[in-house]
Structure 1
């Protein structure tokens, strides 16, 4: 009989715990939630702001702070945040204490197009609108803008972004034609004629060898153009 009573007590205790947990979970789910916490990952320069993300969510879903927690679908919020043209990826989740958080990785511009329309090229070669909150310090692309020349410009920009010297010194790309890409440097007056985008590694190696020698000879300011489009040689045009 003692064993039976002890067993019954344990079962009753378990049922009470389960009931209390279920009641607390339901009550917690019905509580109104606060605003979503926005966390930007990686980039210090914000092309998007917390205020802009919250405004986008309000436009699509209404005010979140008045919603019951169980009425908020995380996937829906995630898709809305990712719909921003400034967002690369977004992850939305709840913390243990019930707070709603969105971690956002922004797209990264590597070049800025200045033509009939103005926009960025991002790190994946896709068009990205300019931001009202921040202007990226990236090379400016001008001249003959077509889908083909934009693809070529992306190849050049991607190469430049991987090289410390070029990333700091190349401030512009002027497109004369599909086989004439001219680089403008931050300090030097001459332009660098790459020709086409073929064999970029070889061309930039030739340029660096020329640059080191010309800097040593103090002759950099005597040139108007440095052409790399010919095989195995650097052709310089003097001022």
Structure 2
């Protein structure tokens, strides 16, 4: 019987690679965590600090640094980070150098509710608590706060944030009642009666045409109320 030495060599090499990999993996699992690195992703990293993240881990998971890597349950650590009201998304992994890397995306507020309860409305339309570390410069929402009116405010804010002029100039939404919303502008004396959230594109198109003409005529300061509630027209009330 002829022995295929090339075949045996390949089998031996394959088994050697597996053994080396298993040994390296075992040695790696026996190492301790040398350092904890927190990375905040995106442009919204103001509401949590690295110290507060480490404190959150210690309080809810225990000490991580100098702990054997094999004892860590990464999914559980991610769940701990996600339990914080300021965290939108979190990813945790270990490096071969013994670092525990936490990549965190913080929630993004787009409006601030000023009522009996004070909180942010985030970019997913959910309530977000105020932060002790930073106060966001976003439009203030006042008036009759209800679940439905906040849903409508979220629709309005999303539209505003898609337009450069509106995003820079609208500083507030006042809820007179469900379906009746009023906008406040940064530099103008007038308020804009928006009505409901129907036909927003048409309403703001009409408003921008009015604003451009009134700015050219230097008559913006003459108006107290600009109403967009009526179909395809802008109705103004002078001071």
TM-score of the superposed pair, with normalisation by structure 2:
0.90
Q: Structure 2 vs 1, CA of residues 217 and 100 (structure 1 numbering), >3 Å: closer, same or farther?
A: same
Aligned partners of 1:175, 1:44: CA distance in 2, in Å? 28
Aligned partners of 2:43, 2:168: CA distance in 1, in Å? 18
Counterpart in the other structure of 2:62: 62
SS at match of 1:194: strand
Paired residues of 1:45 and 1:134 also in contact (CA < 8 A): no
Counterpart in the other structure of 1:90: 90
TM-score of the superposed pair, with normalisation by structure 1:
0.90
Bigger mean CA deviation after superposition, 95-104 or 140-149: 95-104
Aligned partners of 1:154, 1:16: CA distance in 2, in Å? 60
Are 2:140 and 1:143 aligned? no
Are 2:154 and 1:154 aligned? yes
Unaligned runs of 5+ in 1: none
Bigger mean CA deviation after superposition, 11-20 or 147-156: 11-20
Instruction: Kindly provide the CA deviation profile for residues 171-199 of structure 1, in whole angstroms up to 9, marking residues without a partner as x.
Output: 00111111321101010010000011111
Q: Return the offset for 1:25.
A: 3.2
Q: Structure 2 vs 1, CA of residues 14 and 155 (structure 1 numbering), >3 Å: closer, same or farther?
A: closer
Q: Return the offset for 1:150.
A: 0.6
Q: Structure 2 vs 1, CA of residues 197 and 67 (structure 1 numbering), >3 Å: closer, same or farther?
A: same
Paired residues of 1:114 and 1:140 also in contact (CA < 8 A): yes
Q: Return the offset for 1:215.
A: 0.2
Aligned partners of 2:7, 2:114: CA distance in 1, in Å? 79
Counterpart in the other structure of 1:165: 165
Report matched runs for 1:34-49 at 5 Å.
34-49=34-49
Counterpart in the other structure of 2:81: 81
Matched residues, number: 237
Counterpart in the other structure of 2:177: 177
Q: Structure 2 vs 1, CA of residues 178 and 10 (structure 1 numbering), >3 Å: closer, same or farther?
A: closer
Q: Structure 2 vs 1, CA of residues 12 and 134 (structure 1 numbering), >3 Å: closer, same or farther?
A: same
Q: Return the offset for 1:9.
A: 10
Q: Return the offset for 1:31.
A: 2.1
Paired residues of 1:29 and 1:68 also in contact (CA < 8 A): yes
Bigger mean CA deviation after superposition, 25-34 or 66-75: 25-34
SS at match of 2:65: helix
Instruction: Kindly provide the CA deviation profile for residues 106-135 of structure 1, in whole angstroms up to 9, marking residues without a partner as x.
Output: 111100000000111111101111111111
Counterpart in the other structure of 1:116: 116
Aligned partners of 1:82, 1:196: CA distance in 2, in Å? 35
